[in-house]
Amino acid sequence: MKHPYAVPARLPPGLDRVLGYWKSLLRGSAEMPFWDDAKLTDLPDLLDRTLLIDVFDRPERFRLNSVGAGLGQQTQIGRFLDEADLDAPFDFLASQCSATVEAAAATCYVATDASPFGDRGFARLLLPMWGEGRIGMLLGAVEARSR
């Protein structure tokens, strides 16, 4: 079965850096880093395009913890996705969050239509992070699609 949010072989440069940062946080043979190891300030030039999403289980829900200024939607911080009123670049975000948790791996959503990020659309990367015995947070980033 094809993964609905497969990470492409070639990511836009900023997303590739976020993925590299996420991998650098891995401890030993862990397959994902602990959420409390991630510091968005470690990526200062990408801060405006990054986000953190809290993950809750039973029932599964997602809450916007942090949203970079370049992404808009600051008024939605602290809201659960199913209660938030979100625009691009947050299309299909709840679906991608669920897929990231289910796969326990990186996911990528690619929008090819014109968006606030340019005529070529954008790509959004989500990365799971461990905490409290489960996936407790997702690290995300958005970037305009390159050629």
Residue 115's pLDDT is what?
61
- Domains of the chain with bracketed CATH: 13-144 (3.30.450.20)
Task: Kindly state the tokens that stand for 141.
Answer: 């980033």
Q: State the pTM of this model.
A: 0.93
Task: Kindly state the tokens that stand for 130.
Answer: 């461990």
d(CA 10, CA 78): 32
What is the CB-side half-sphere exposure of residue 23 using CA atoms within 13 A?
7
User: Are the beta carbons of 63 and 56 closer than 8 angstroms?
Assistant: yes
pLDDT at position 147 over 60? no
d(CA 36, CA 26): 12
